[in-house]
A and B are shown apart, each in its own frame.
Chain A
Amino acid sequence: MARAATTTDAFNAVAEPRRREILDALAGAELSVNDLVERLGVAQPVVSKHLRVLREVGLVRVREDGRQRIYALEPGPLRAVYDWVRGYERLWTERFELLDTVLEQLQADTGDDENEGEAP
């Protein structure tokens, strides 16, 4: 399936299901690559590849702990995803509230033969 080869922002990054799994795991705790390999049950190169993408868009940060590299969630870039979806939600919520009003009036108008769903 067609997917952009380059990952430049949080939207691209979270479009990939495995990367969402990694973010979910990191939301609970800082983890090393090995921890993530264990939790996700995927090969280490795959995890590393996804972590690199997540790091490029700023969704995870990494620190050295002895020989290990420990990854942590950096949720800031997700804000853009949230704001975008929320804009839609607000628009549609308002539309649907108006639609509720229209439906109530339709039900009142056709009340004689449309009793279903209404209190007796």
Chain B
Amino acid sequence: MNTQHTDQSGARRATVTTPADNQILITREFAAPRHLVYRASTEPALIRRWYHANRAEFRSIEVDLRVGGAWRYEMTAHNGFEFSFHGEYREIVPDEHVVSTEIYSGVPDAEAINSLTLTEKDGRTFMEILVTHQSKEYRDAHLASGMEDGMQDALDLLESLARSL
């Protein structure tokens, strides 16, 4: 039991960096124990409540959380644009680590690998999501499309690069 979470809660903002020319690293701290962050990241009913980022509605979600199992999120953005993400789980260490592939419906040839790592300290969880693209060309192609369109569309396209759990 501790009361220091208020002091540390300033570190809530997500940071996004590009450690390599085909990678994106997203990090964030959460004021919750690791097994709860893991649940929220892997249970469909919980994923539905946050992954849309207030930009889209889920049409359906499938999560077969085992190595070789498939996942699929189907969404409709608020501007009516329909898109989906799908992939396969490659590695699963409950409460700690999930590696999965991700394919965005808009660019079906490009497969990214998403590596989620959770570590816990003093009841807080540090989340790290490393997205590795097959090439920087895919990244730049998405970027180019996104920058020609409005912010809403750009973010839809950015979703294609981003992946989650």
Where the two chains meet, the residues of A that have a C-beta atom closer than 8 Å to any C-beta of B are 2-4, 9, 11-12, 15, 80-81, 83-85, 87-96, 98-104, 106-107, 110, 114-120
Contact = CB atoms under 8 A, between A and B. Distances in A.
B15 A89 contact: yes
Contacts of B50: 95-96, 98-99, 101-102
B49 interface: yes
Contacts of A90: 155
A11 B24 CA distance: 13
A4 B136 contact: yes
Interface residues of B, number: 53
Interface of B: 1-3, 5-6, 12-18, 20-21, 24, 26, 28, 30-33, 36-37, 39-41, 46, 49-55, 122-124, 135-137, 139-140, 143, 146-147, 151, 154-155, 158-159, 161-162, 164
A102 B46 contact: yes
A61 B124 CA distance: 47
A91 B162 contact: yes
A9 B30 CA distance: 36
B154 A87 contact: yes
Given A11-B143, A116-B1, A117-B5, A92 B21 contact: no
B21 A3 contact: yes
A89 B14 contact: yes
A111 B30 CA distance: 17
Contacts of B54: 94, 98
A38 B18 CA distance: 28
B1 A114 contact: no
